[in-house]
């Protein structure tokens, strides 16, 4: 231990007893003008009592110092245990996040196969039958190739974001971002991706949306994943609507799919992690929702999912207009 109080307190106790004894002899000398031998002869009991105070004060200081040393040692042990618990909690959190990222990366890697297969298939078909296709068919194939490439790029971005969140080492380059422009860009992109299903998207900006302090690429990925999630859940020839506004110091986005193609049990399982099923659309939907939730938390915001038979699927996002990252 760095400090031992038992020796310090014992020394203080002994010095206090010596000072008390010296004071007693001094007062006797001043009052009676006689030496210490007179005091010993006249009051031996008092002298013995005073002299006994020397070892008693020494022992009392030792005991009090030992008790303080014990308490200091206990405090140090408790502090170390607290540090160990904090380290264990951090390690457990890192392990949970690593496992979560591993699952999310696995789902994203599986999802990459679909647009990649479509991209290769459309390209091969177009190259083999180019002469046999008319102008409209060629444009359709080129559109399908562009959609598959856009979908592939989106999944690769998701995979890179998942890896960044796992390591938590990426520095956020925040700047002033116009959320209306970013939202419109993401909406146009997902609407083009789902155009073969003739799924429409309706965006409403309720009033002016001021710039927010955020990482532009992360904000785009967050909004893209939310809109893509809603479009995935929507049935063919359906519509997804989004309302964007400001409430107080927050940017609020409500994305609604009134007629989802999924059953209520699947909609309820979207925000569950890990996914309750390993087949179908649910793992991808759960991965997108989980990634969007992590991105929203990283920006100091929150994401909530709600669904009902009448209102369908709703996603509620709230992001602070400014945040010190």
Does residue 167 fall inside a structural domain? Answer: no
CA distance 178 to 321: 11
The CATH number of residue 239's host domain is 3.30.565.10
Q: What pLDDT was estimated at residue 171?
A: 60
Same domain for 196 and 312, yes or no, is yes
pLDDT tens-digit map of 177-186: 999 999 999 9
Same domain for 191 and 52, yes or no, is no
pLDDT tens-digit map of 285-311: 999 999 999 999 988 899 999 988 788
Say yes or no to pLDDT of 128 above 80: yes
Same domain for 62 and 178, yes or no, is no
CA distances from 111 to 16, 172, 284 (A): 81, 27, 7
End residue of a domain, out of 60, 88, 116: 88
Write down the H helix ranges in 194-235.
216-233
pLDDT tens-digit map of 34-72: 666 666 666 676 667 767 777 777 778 788 878 888 888
Share of the chain above pLDDT 90, in %: 31
Q: What pLDDT was estimated at residue 325?
A: 40
pLDDT tens-digit map of 189-232: 999 999 888 899 999 988 888 888 888 999 999 999 999 999 99
Lookup result for tokens 């809603």: 230
Domain residues for the domain of 42 are 5-88
Same domain for 188 and 324, yes or no, is yes
274: confidence class by pLDDT, cuts 50, 70, 90? confident
CA distances from 31 to 124, 149, 220 (A): 121, 108, 94
Same domain for 208 and 304, yes or no, is yes
Question: What is the average pLDDT across 241-260?
Answer: 92
Question: What is the average pLDDT across 258-269?
Answer: 88
Say yes or no to pLDDT of 91 above 90: no
Q: What pLDDT was estimated at residue 240?
A: 94
Same domain for 64 and 205, yes or no, is no
Question: What is the average pLDDT across 72-89?
Answer: 86
Mean pLDDT of the chain: 85
Residue 319 · residue 301 · CB < 8 Å: yes
Go through the chain and tell me how many residues it has.
325
Domain count of the fold of the chain: 2
Same domain for 190 and 79, yes or no, is no
Same domain for 193 and 321, yes or no, is yes
């Amino acid at each position: 231990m760095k400090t031992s109080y038992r020796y310090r307190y014992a020394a203080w106790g002994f010095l206090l007893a010596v000072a008390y004894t010296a004071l007693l002899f001094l007062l006797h000398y001043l009052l009676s003008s006689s030496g210490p031998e007179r005091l010993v002869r006249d009051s031996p009991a008092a002298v013995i009592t005073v002299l006994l105070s020397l070892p008693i004060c020494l022992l009392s200081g030792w005991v009090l110092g030992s008790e303080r040393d014990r308490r200091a040692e206990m405090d140090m042990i408790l502090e170390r245990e607290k540090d160990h618990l904090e380290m264990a909690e951090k390690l457990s959190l890192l392990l949970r996040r690593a496992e979560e990222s591993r699952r999310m990366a696995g789902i994203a890697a599986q999802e990459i196969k679909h647009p990649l297969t479509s991209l290769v298939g459309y390209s091969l078909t177009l190259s083999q039958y180019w002469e046999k296709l008319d102008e409209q068919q060629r444009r359709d194939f080129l559109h399908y190739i562009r959609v598959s490439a856009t979908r592939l790029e989106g999944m690769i971005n998701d995979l890179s974001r998942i890896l960044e969140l796992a390591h938590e080492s990426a520095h956020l380059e925040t700047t002033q971002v116009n959320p209306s422009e970013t939202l419109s860009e993401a909406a146009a992109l997902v609407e083009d991706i789902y155009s073969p299903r003739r799924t429409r998207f309706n965006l409403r900006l309720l009033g002016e949306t001021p710039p927010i302090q955020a990482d532009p690429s992360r904000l785009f990925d967050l909004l893209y994943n939310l809109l893509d999630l809603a479009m995935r859940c929507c049935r063919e020839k359906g519509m997804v609507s989004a309302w964007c506004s400001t409430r107080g110091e927050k940017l609020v986005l409500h994305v609604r799919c009134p007629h989802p193609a999924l059953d209520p049990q699947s909609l309820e399982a979207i925000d569950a992690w890990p996914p309750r099923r390993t087949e179908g659309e649910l793992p991808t939907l759960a991965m997108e929702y989980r990634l969007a939730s992590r991105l929203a938390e990283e920006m100091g915001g929150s994401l909530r999912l709600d669904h009902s038979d009448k209102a369908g699927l709703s996603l509620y996002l709230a992001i602070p207009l400014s945040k010190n990252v």
